[in-house]
Amino acid sequence: MSQHHHHSAPAATPVVESKLPKVGTTIFTTMSALAQEHNAINLSQGFPNYDPAPELQRLVFEHMQRGANQYAPMPGLPLLRRRIADKMQRMYGVDINPDTEVTVTAGGTQAIFCIIAAFVRPGEEVVMLEPCYDSYAPSVETVGGTVVPVPLHAPEYQVDWAAVKAKITPRTRMLCINTPHNPTGAILTDADMQALEQILDGTNVLLMSDEVYEHLIYDGQAHASALRFPGLRGRTLAIYSFGKTYHNTGWKTGYCIAPPELTREFRKVHQFNVFSSNHPVQAAFADFMEDAEQYLGLPAFYQQKRDFFRAAMSQTRLKPLPCRGTYFQLYDYSHLSDEADLDFCKRLTIEFGVASIPVSVFYSDLRDDKVIRLCFAKTEDMLAEAARRLARV
């Protein structure tokens, strides 16, 4: 009998109907792999080519040596949550309770997934402004929700709040915003947030506010955190990322801030998704955050990179769009080629040695305005060389 089992063919894999039929490998993985294959400068996936502060690295190791090697508390280390609350007070003048309103996550993307999984039921609608980060829609679809897109348009990508309002129905569970905005580099202003307060007033709609680029904001503009607006605070789950702030996207650590009632539900999903996030890294951030200069200097640090890159790129024929925040700069190539933006990005990588991201992938209908995204979180030598290569296009 056992013999028989040994020799029979394995049972066929059951037929599965994909929950995400339109999803393949993410564009970030695809373009970074293509860049590597062709030895191209990789300005596609958003990450710095420089390291976090040596002191921060040292602190991680020190905490490992001191025994921070087992599970951290499920919601995050108490000291780190306290430092986060202090920072929110200092940056935005908001009172955040570190015990009931802050949860440390395994990066922004995990926070996004947990927010959606915790609150969106099958058939409920989630309104999102497109283009948007590529994890939002698949997260909604995984839990059976329905994505309701509102398109934003080049070159300003300003929000038409009347169009947003028109999409809010009794089925709307959540609205997603992102400022500073990936991939466009646009920001929401106080006036935008006030318009949003009016639209959501009297509704039961939750607000997912992706603020991972909070410190990457230029020309003296202030970040319009949703937490600052009284009409939004009670319905907001705001997402932040240590990776963007401290140049360590690979450490995969961030946090979610929300009122106690919402945090309670968020944590129910979080605890069964990752349980808790990286312990020595949390301990190191808790120490390192004492020095506010580290993040207060970021707008100037990145504005200089933006200006350097835009100046270097002026030798190319690509047309820059406005960049008010994030470490992404968009370029329009519609006057140079009719190619689909994905094909154009692949050709730039293979023939010219610079990898970028096509903006169409951030629209559910793959709307192609012939615009590409380049990441300028790179050293000046790399940015200059990328511009030299692109000057031949």
At its nearest, how many Å lie between ligand GLN and the CB of residue 372? 13
Residue nearest to ligand GLN (CB): 46
- Under the binding rule (CB under 6 A), the answer on residue 277 touching ligand GLN is no
At its nearest, how many Å lie between ligand GLN and the CB of residue 77? 25
For residues 173 and 148, the answer to whether their CB atoms sit within 8 Å is: no
Give the x/- contact pattern for ligand GLN in 328-347, rule: CB under 6 A: --------------------
Distance separating alpha carbons of residues 168 and 174, to the nearest angstrom: 9
Number of residues that bind ligand GLN (CB under 6 A): 6
Give the x/- contact pattern for ligand GLN in 41-60, rule: CB under 6 A: ----xx--------------
Q: Which residue from 172, 182, 253, 329 is in contact with ligand GLN, where contact means CB under 6 A? A: 182
At its nearest, how many Å lie between ligand GLN and the CB of residue 10? 34
For residue 346, the SS3 value is helix
At its nearest, how many Å lie between ligand GLN and the CB of residue 189? 22
Distance separating alpha carbons of residues 271 and 114, to the nearest angstrom: 10
DSSP string for residues in 222-291: PP--GGG-HHHHTTEEEEEEHHHHHT-GGG--EEEE--HHHHHHHHHHHHHHTSS--HHHHHHHHHHTT-
Among candidate residues 139, 134, 138, 161, the one with its CA nearest the CA of residue 150: 161
Q: Which residues ranging from 88 to 127 are in contact with ligand GLN (CB under 6 A)?
A: 109
Among candidate residues 175, 173, 167, the one with its CA nearest the CA of residue 124: 173
Distance separating alpha carbons of residues 42 and 214, to the nearest angstrom: 24
Q: Tokens for 269?
A: 């999903």
Q: Which residues ranging from 13 to 32 are in contact with ligand GLN (CB under 6 A)?
A: 26, 28
Give the x/- contact pattern for ligand GLN in 206-245, rule: CB under 6 A: ----------------------------------------
Helix 108-119 crosses helix 260-273 at what angle (to 10 degrees)?
110
At its nearest, how many Å lie between ligand GLN and the CB of residue 29? 7
At its nearest, how many Å lie between ligand GLN and the CB of residue 109? 6
Query: Would you tell me which residues interact with ligand GLN (CB under 6 A)?
Result: 26, 28, 45-46, 109, 182
